[in-house]
Amino acid sequence: MVAVHSWGRLQAAEHTLHALADHPPTRLPLAEGQHGLAHGMGRSYGDVCLNPGGALWATRGLDRFIAWNESTGELTCEAGVLLRDIQRTFVPRGWMLPVTPGTQFATVGGAIANDVHGKNHHVHGSFGDHVAA
């Protein structure tokens, strides 16, 4: 068991931690009766990225771009990709994420799970509004 904090560092909770690096994962390890939760950078507000006493599947190793369509701007990537890495790669090519939260260190999986929004949500909606699959 490993103590893991949320971004706000309000509490530390003990977890069984499993680093994922294969997509799709060949197996998601769990002890009998244990629950699991995907965990990226832990930048969620509060404790929604924690699973006290359970398993955390660390997704930061799932950080690859899979496909990119230059004409539409559609990107297929793994859940552990940082929003920072998307911006650094595609802004120079003329593309920018339509929605960005207050930190560039959120993962795509976390942005989807929390349906993050930026300062322009009244115009462009939330992150989930731009996710095709």
Which tens digits make up the pLDDT trace of 10-61? 888 899 999 988 876 777 778 888 899 999 999 887 788 899 999 999 999 9
Q: Give CA–CA dist 83/89, Å, rounded.
A: 10
Count Cβ atoms within 10 A of the Cβ of residue 46 and give its class: 0-12 exposed, 13-18 middle, 19 or more buried: exposed
Q: Which CATH number fits domain 65-130: 1.10.10.60, 3.30.465.10, 3.40.50.1100, 3.40.50.720?
A: 3.30.465.10
CB 87 within 8 A of CB 70: no
Element (H, E) at 16: strand 12-19
pLDDT confidence of residue 44: 83
Give the residue range(s) of CATH 3.30.465.10 domains in the chain. Answer: 65-130
Q: Give CA–CA dist 73/127, Å, rounded.
A: 15
